[in-house]
């Protein structure tokens, strides 16, 4: 592309927090930038569980990358899936065959679900990473109640009303808390043959406690808040089997038609084509300047990179991805200006928030620890603030106000063609 | 179901305007009602084109039937697809095998696209009747611009930027007008290799004029408004071929990767299982009381029924469907009360509105004829007023205000799994 163009060409793969923040931080840099993403939008992943649980519409938490970057004239956005990277030749190839030459590359294609070698579970226990995942999950959660209503056999009906969320990290906790709220409040009075409040919502964590990235006391408070919302929390036991009929926990096989996977993530498989050492989760072990060992012009940022900061691994969270993106931009700027390189990447931890459900959350900021309603307000304010787009902020606030006043969820609409329904 | 229950059982098939209005009008009637729909939601079809053109989210124009009817204790809502009706046995069967006995039946399953015997066109020219149709169309319209941007061959690129809408009725006009607005305004500055304003948006009507249900002068004004928005209007020539590469109009084959079908509707195929005379479009020729000839306990309403009122056929529009639904409820109430039957169904025509695009519409109410901005305001007020749900009204108004101030469209998000992409 652009044969003979004078400016160096930076290709950014992935329009998530790392890729988009790097791109924006290079707005006036003497570079041609091509941003490639499989989706046409930047996704505000921290609110993805709200789309899955019918609280928000897909467009409320996403914005077209082209639109975000329309005024940044040194960027071209390209919808496409990167199939292969040839680091030595400085080329990458899209699934449609297009080849891009690059001078520098930022690989920020993020993470996907991992089933710890049990890929057959993917069919029965979908995960939550993309809007399509969220819409599939929404459909399955809502359909489960419909199937229970139509079912006449009490055991089959109970299996439709049995929900399990595997993984007690932030996503699992959010999904479990919100699903319990839906069963207890949102669907009240709407069914004639079942009582949705009889739904069993189980959150299963193989480790000793939920939200293990928080201090133990906050973790305990989170568990108590979950239980108050009606979630059954099981810790210390891994799920050993998942089928279309249920899951195995220790010696028990528990009938359940809806199992959600929130347990493991693995780096995007694209990392492998770099031909450099990866960690167990498939992430690239980058240099302190986030470049790839042996390839100083190739950087990896966000969930795809693993790097230490202050002696501890940088967590796979949105603020870390944004900081990495910004850091790569600073390294590139210094190189372009011929000034000295910035000091190694250092993660600034501004705190840790997790929401649990209706008016329940936990917050850990340095010495400040909050839980319950104050934490929830803090969480809400932070998330609305960081959403991209004025309209999205307004609509999300409006939907929240509506949901908390009416106990309703605005997006309880089932769509999606039958081929995507594994239960047809 | 409900063996031995004392109240007569009314089954309503279809939760559109006819079915839902009949059901609500029977709120305190001594009946058990089962409302069966393939979807979990009532859809406000007049705004469906806004979902297709990324102005609104799917949940903004839909509301779960269960939620609408949660307080009406004589109704059960059932998600299901009716496969067969046995009028003599008074039974119907769902696709999942469930059999319902009924004492009375209201069949209101609406219409679907018809390709005038050219069903192979369905692959290349999708229609617009359901939310899934709208989301597919949205995806294809947005992808066409992405493909054009990625295409290097000028002729292939032009084909991606060539859009044809077949059918000059209200849906075709709305889609053409809005698509022209997207190309001219919304996408401005967002692409680097194509100029979206070069997109060719063609509205093709086989008859002599667009919006033929309006008086000729309003029709002419509509055409002028369309042309001002950038739509090329072609009348009097039918499309004779549609392939994945384009369409044939007279002797010309016009390359176009996106063709939308807004030309023909046919009644839901369920009408056939009644075994009674149908009109050419497959609609049931009902009695003046909307019952089926020979089956006084079976009624048909909405787009599935064809009936005369004041010597003219009742049009297939939302107000007519609501009136038919309300009428069937009155007939049933009279029978239950043992009072005399109401006079034959009569359609009250309150007027005819059609929107064309940005600030453009036509209105015909008795002697009142409006076009342009005043008509558009009238159209907007009427549509927001008739939406179900306070939240939906508020969100739709907000999105409209946003769109008309910023020229942006909030839902320009491409999703949908690859299997639904005919262009993968």
Residue with tokens 């590139």: A332
Q: Which residues make Cβ contacts (< 8 Å) with residue B267, sequence separation at least 6?
A: B110, B111, B112, B278, B281, B282, B283, B284, B303, B304
Beta pairing partners, A37? A79
CA distance A85 to A76: 19
Contact B70 A189 (CB under 8 A): yes
DSSP B360: E
Query: What's the confidence (pLDDT) of residue A236?
Result: 97
Yes or no: say if B359 and B216 are a contact pair by the CB < 8 Å rule. no
For residues B44 and B62, the answer to whether their CB atoms sit within 8 Å is: yes
Fold matches, B9-38+80-113+265-337 and B119-263+358-420: yes
Interface test with A, best of B79, B126, B403, B423 (most A CBs within 10 A): B79
Angle, helices B170-181/B216-229, rounded to nearest 10 degrees = 20
Rounded Cα distance, B276 and B283, in Å: 10
Q: How many angstroms separate the CA atoms of B361 and A49, rounded?
A: 39
Residues of chain A contacting residue B96, judged by C-beta atoms under 8 Å apart: 150
Q: Is A66 on the interface with B (CB under 8 A)?
A: yes
CATH topology for B119-263+358-420 is FAD/NAD(P)-binding domain (3.50.50)
Please tell me the distance in Å from B408's CA to the nearest CA on chain A: 9
A142-190 pLDDT tens trace:
999 999 999 999 999 999 999 999 999 999 999 999 999 999 999 989 9
Over the stretch B367-424, which tens digit does the pLDDT of each residue have? Answer: 999 999 999 999 999 888 888 777 788 888 888 888 777 888 888 888 875 433 344 3
Separation between Cα atoms, residue A211 and residue A269, nearest integer Å:
27
Distance (Å) from the C-alpha of residue A74 to the closest C-alpha of chain B? 10
Distances (CA, A) of A188 to A145, B60, B72: 12, 22, 13
Q: Check if A417 contacts B (Cβ < 8 Å).
A: yes
Q: Which of residues 261-320 of A touch B (CB under 8 A)?
A: none
CA distance B178 to chain A (A): 18
CA distance B209 to chain A (A): 35
Mark yes or no for CB contact B416/A80 under 8 Å: no
Contact yes or no for B69/B33 (Cβ under 8 A): no
Tell me, what's the pLDDT at A424?
A: 33
Contact A59 B146 (CB under 8 A): no
Q: Is the separation of the CB atoms in A306 and A284 below 8 Å?
A: yes
B380 close to B399: Cβ distance less than 8 angstroms: no
Please provide residue A312's backbone torsions phi and psi, each rounded to the nearest 5 degrees.
Answer: -125, 150
| Chain B residues closer than 8 Å to A417 by CB | 132, 419-420
Label the pairing between strands B258-261 and B162-166.
parallel
Which of A41, A64, A190 comes nearest B70 by C-beta? A190
B140, B151, B174, B181: which one is catalytic?
B174
pLDDT of B113 reads 83
pLDDT tens column, A96-150? 999 999 999 999 999 888 898 899 999 999 999 999 999 999 999 999 999 999 9
Name the stretches of chain B with pLDDT < 70.
Answer: 1-5, 417-424
Report d(CA B62, CA B413) in Å as an integer. Answer: 18
SS3 of residue B10 by DSSP: strand
Interface probe with A: pick from B5, B34, B44, B59, most Cβ of A within 10 Å: B59
- CA separation for the pair A306, A312 (Å, rounded): 10
A304 with A106: CB under 8 angstroms? no
Q: How far away is chain A from the Cα of B409, in angstroms, using its nearest Cα? A: 10
Task: Give the active site residue among A146, A149, A151, A174.
Answer: A174
Domain B9-38+80-113+265-337 has CATH 3.50.50.60: yes
Cβ contact (<8 Å) for B414 and A40?
A: yes
Burial zone of A91 (CB within 10 Å; 0-12 exposed, 13-18 middle, 19+ buried): middle
A400 touches chain B (CB under 8 A): no
Residue B169 is classified by DSSP as S
**In chain A, where are the structural domains located?**
9-38+80-113+265-337, 119-262+351-412
Q: What is the ipTM of this complex?
A: 0.91
Nearest to A258 by CA among A378, A375, A140: A140
Length of chain B: 424
CA distances from A263 to A1, A31, A165, A269, A283 (A): 41, 39, 9, 18, 17
pLDDT, averaged in runs of 10, over chain A (424 residues): 71 98 97 97 94 93 95 97 96 96 97 88 93 94 96 96 97 96 93 96 97 95 96 97 96 96 88 92 95 97 95 93 98 96 95 91 93 92 84 83 81 68 39
**Of chain A residues 88-127, which have a CB less than 8 A from chain B?**
96, 98
Annotated catalytic residue B151: no
Contacts of B150 in chain A (CB under 8 A): 78-80, 96, 98
Give the residue among A333, A329, A289 at the shortest CA–CA distance from A308: A289
Residue A59 with chain B: CB contacts under 8 Å: 54, 57, 410-413
| B 129-188 residues with CB < 8 A to A | 130-132, 135, 142-143, 146, 149-150, 187
Report the C-alpha gap between A378 and A363 in whole angstroms. Answer: 8
Query: What's the rounded Cα separation, in Å, for the pair A390 and A60?
Result: 11
Quickly list DSSP for A124-149.
TS---SSHHHHHHHHHHHHHHHHHHH
Tokens of B179: 């698509």
- Look at B415 and A60 and tell me if their CB atoms are within 8 Å: no
Contact flag B41-A420 (C-beta cutoff 8 Å): no
- Contacts of B252 by beta carbon, 8 Å cutoff, 6+ apart: none
Per DSSP, what are the bridge partners of residue A371? A362
CATH no. for A119-262+351-412:
3.50.50.100
* Residue in A59, A64, A395 closest to B398 by CB: A395
CA-based end-to-end distance of chain B: 45
Sign of CA dihedral A367, A373, A379, A380: negative
Q: Do A150 and B78 touch (CB under 8 A)?
A: yes
């Amino acid at each position: 592309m652009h044969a003979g163009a004078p400016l160096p060409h930076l290709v950014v793969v992935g329009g998530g927090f790392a890729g988009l923040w790097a791109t924006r931080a290079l707005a006036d840099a003497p570079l041609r930038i091509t941003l490639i993403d499989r989706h046409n939008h930047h996704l505000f992943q921290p609110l993805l569980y709200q789309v899955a649980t019918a609280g928000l519409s897909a467009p409320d938490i996403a914005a077209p990358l082209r639109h975000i970057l329309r005024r940044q004239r040194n960027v071209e956005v390209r919808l496409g899936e990167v199939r292969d990277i040839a680091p030595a030749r400085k080329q990458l190839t899209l699934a449609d065959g297009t080849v891009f030459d690059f001078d520098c590359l930022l690989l920020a294609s993020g993470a996907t679900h991992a089933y710890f070698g049990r890929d057959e579970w993917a069919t029965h226990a979908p995960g939550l990473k993309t809007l399509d995942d969220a819409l599939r999950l929404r459909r399955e959660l809502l359909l489960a109640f419909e199937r229970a209503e139509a079912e006449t056999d009490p055991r089959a009906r109970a299996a439709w009303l049995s929900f399990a969320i595997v993984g007690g990290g932030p996503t699992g906790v959010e999904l479990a808390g919100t699903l319990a709220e839906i069963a207890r409040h949102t669907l009240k009075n709407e069914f004639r043959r079942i009582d949705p409040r009889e739904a069993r919502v189980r959150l299963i964590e193989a480790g000793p406690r939920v939200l293990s990235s928080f201090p133990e006391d906050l973790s305990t408070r989170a568990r108590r808040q979950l239980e108050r919302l009606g979630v059954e929390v099981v810790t210390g036991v891994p799920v050993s089997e998942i089928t279309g009929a249920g899951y195995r926990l220790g010696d028990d096989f528990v009938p359940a038609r809806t199992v959600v996977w929130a347990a493991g993530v693995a780096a995007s498989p694209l990392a492998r084509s770099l031909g450099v050492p990866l960690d167990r989760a498939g992430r690239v072990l980058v240099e302190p300047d986030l470049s790839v060992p042996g390839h100083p012009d190739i950087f990896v940022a966000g969930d795809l990179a693993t790097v230490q900061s202050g002696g501890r691994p940088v967590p796979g969270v949105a603020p870390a991805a944004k900081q990495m993106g910004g850091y790569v931009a600073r390294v590139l700027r210094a190189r372009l200006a011929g000034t000295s390189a910035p000091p190694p990447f250092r993660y600034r931890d501004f705190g840790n928030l997790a929401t649990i459900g209706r008016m329940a959350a936990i917050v850990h900021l340095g010495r400040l620890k909050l839980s319950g309603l104050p934490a929830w307000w803090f969480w809400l304010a932070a998330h609305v603030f960081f959403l991209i787009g004025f309209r999205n902020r307004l609509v999300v606030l409006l939907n929240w106000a509506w949901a908390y006043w009416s106990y309703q969820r605005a997006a309880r609409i089932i769509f999606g063609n039958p081929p995507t329904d594994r239960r047809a």
